[in-house]
Copies of this chain bind each other. A is one copy, B any other.
Amino acid sequence: MNPSFEILKNKLGELADIKGAIALMMWDQEVMMPKGSIHLRARQLGTLSGMQHEKFVKETGEILSILNDQQADLNAHEQQDLAEVQREYTRMTRVPTQLIIDLQKGAAEAQHAWELSRKANDFSVFAPALSNLVALRLQEAQCLGHSGNPYDAMLDCYERDASAASLEKLFVPMRQQLTGLIHAIQAAPQVDDSFLYQPISPQAQLAFSEKVLEKMGYDFTTGRQDISTHPFTIGMGSQDIRITTRVKENDIIEMLYSSIHEGGHALYEQGISMENYGLPSGEYCSIGIHESQSRIWENNVGRSLAFWEHWFPTFRELFPDKLAGKGPEDVFKAVNKVSPSFIRTSADELTYHFHIMLRFEIENLLINGSIKVNDLPSVWNELLKNYLGIGPPDLLNGVLQDVHWSHGSFGYFPTYSLGSFYAAQFMAKAGETLPDLQKSIEKGEFSAFRNWLKINVHQKGRSGNPENLCKSVCGEGLNVEFFIDYAKEKFEAVYGIRI
């Protein structure tokens, strides 16, 4: 290895160590931390985030400029890593360390306010902390630079080169297609899913999810599953990737698909080699690609008939009535029931994207100053009415349902839809390459599929924008037709219709 590149790699490894500590503090805050420790944790997170930023900006500039002069001595992988680090360096030097600290502290405080606000069903408890975060992220967008729309600078933080305009181009025709599909479904005989909502002990639910996770290949020797309000995956480096789920006695389905979803995220990070620890090639590509890995397992695999062909016999044993008279196809249909609802995370695969479009639209308005934080509850309700024809009974079922804004993560939501679109495209490609894919899923055998993802997606790390990764996997950039085709085929089967 080029000695200067080795210096850079070691420095980035130290930065990854700090990131790992921050990730652990965040995991602990959600899963383990005593509630009264929140202010202390906020200041500690602020300090570490500031340090990580300061160290990156102060300590990599010199070696980067040396390496830029030595590019000819680097191999193609090293050149790619160098270009990625240089890009990040240029971005980060534009943001003052104090702003990073303020954002981290502001987010910790806002999350606390969000929780109190949910308890009180009172948006005004959350509003001041949220306004503070909007102001801070606007400052950050100003530092990062954008061509007119500060929201673009935020989108780019999660999905490189995404913009409000490019997303609208995807969402506008998608809205039309989905509306057509949903209307056809609403005209068909409805699916019964009531038999799934029976009391099952949390222990038995979790044990089932662990069986599925193990079969997926989630490595429990370098991971663990816990309970949290909002399921998430967090990584301290590929040798410590943790997931959470949530458990309600009468809803094993929510628990199961949360586990599979987070398990998919975790497989992505466990699939990245420790050899590239700290380097861009040892990191995930983008949030949208990350989301494709959770959704491909949750929806394309986990909500398929093939999946239930294998898992139904074990699943049935959990139920008080052993699901008498039901078969794999009944569960397949039930877990794909389409019905407008209030909560994004439990929405079906079609109406889900309206939840995202709503948030995308609101964020764009908020960041551009067209609406204020205090307008959020009413704008939310109005848009939900327009899109899905329903109005939430309270704030928990409405504007206060997601944790993201309390983290200041404006621009994050669209990556969920992108994830679904990428997942459909990757799944189609995997099906081409692995002709026995559906048969192996029917047998509960996931290893060929997991390896395909590992080689084609996970181990590529970050070496360019998600569009480039998609091209290297599929031979073309993002093409939402794959999602439309997938959705039509699946929901025609679920509802017995032809569209």
Q: Which A residues form the contact surface with B (CB < 8 A)?
A: 13-14, 17-18, 20-22, 24-25, 28, 32-37, 39-41, 43-44, 46-48, 51, 219-224, 236-237, 239-240, 242, 274
Interface contact A28-B34, CB-CB below 8 Å: no
Which residue of chain B has its CB nearest to the CB of A22? B21
Interface contact B240-A35, CB-CB below 8 Å: no
Interface contact A239-B47, CB-CB below 8 Å: no
Q: Which 9 A-B pairs have the closest CB atoms?
A: A36-B221, A17-B47, A37-B240, A36-B222, A40-B239, A17-B44, A21-B21, A40-B237, A20-B44
A467 nearest CB across to chain B (Å)? 32
Knowing A41-B240, A239-B40, A240-B40, the reply to whether A220 touches B17 (Cβ < 8 A) is no
Interface contact B34-A32, CB-CB below 8 Å: no
A361 nearest CB across to chain B (Å)? 39
Interface of A is mostly: helix
Per the bound structure, the CA–CA distance linking A379 and B263 in Å amounts to: 50
Knowing A24-B24, A24-B28, the reply to whether A17 touches B34 (Cβ < 8 A) is no
Per the bound structure, the CA–CA distance linking A393 and B297 in Å amounts to: 52
Q: Which residues of B contact A18 (CB under 8 A)?
A: 47-48, 51
Q: Which residues of B contact A25 (CB under 8 A)?
A: 21, 24
Q: Which residues of B contact A13 (CB under 8 A)?
A: 43, 47
Q: Which residues of B contact A220 (CB under 8 A)?
A: 34
Give which listed residue, B17, B36, B48, B219, contacts A36 with CB less than 8 A.
Answer: B219
Give which listed residue, B17, B48, B221, contacts A35 with CB less than 8 A.
Answer: B221
Q: Which residues of B contact A28 (CB under 8 A)?
A: 24, 28
Q: Which residues of B contact A242 (CB under 8 A)?
A: 34
A444 nearest CB across to chain B (Å)? 24
A377 nearest CB across to chain B (Å)? 31
Interface contact B32-A32, CB-CB below 8 Å: yes
A163 nearest CB across to chain B (Å)? 36
Per the bound structure, the CA–CA distance linking A28 and B274 in Å amounts to: 21
Interface contact A236-B20, CB-CB below 8 Å: no
Interface contact B219-A37, CB-CB below 8 Å: no
Per the bound structure, the CA–CA distance linking A273 and B35 in Å amounts to: 18
Per the bound structure, the CA–CA distance linking A22 and B32 in Å amounts to: 16
A227 nearest CB across to chain B (Å)? 13
Which residue of chain B has its CB nearest to the CB of A41? B240
Q: Which residues of B contact A14 (CB under 8 A)?
A: 47, 51
Per the bound structure, the CA–CA distance linking A22 and B242 in Å amounts to: 19
Per the bound structure, the CA–CA distance linking A47 and B48 in Å amounts to: 13
Since A21-B22, A24-B28 are in contact, a sample of 17 more A-B pairs with Cβ atoms closer than 8 Å, ordered by chain A residue number, is: A13-B47, A14-B47, A17-B43, A17-B44, A18-B48, A21-B25, A32-B224, A33-B240, A34-B220, A36-B219, A37-B222, A37-B240, A39-B239, A40-B237, A40-B240, A41-B240, A44-B236
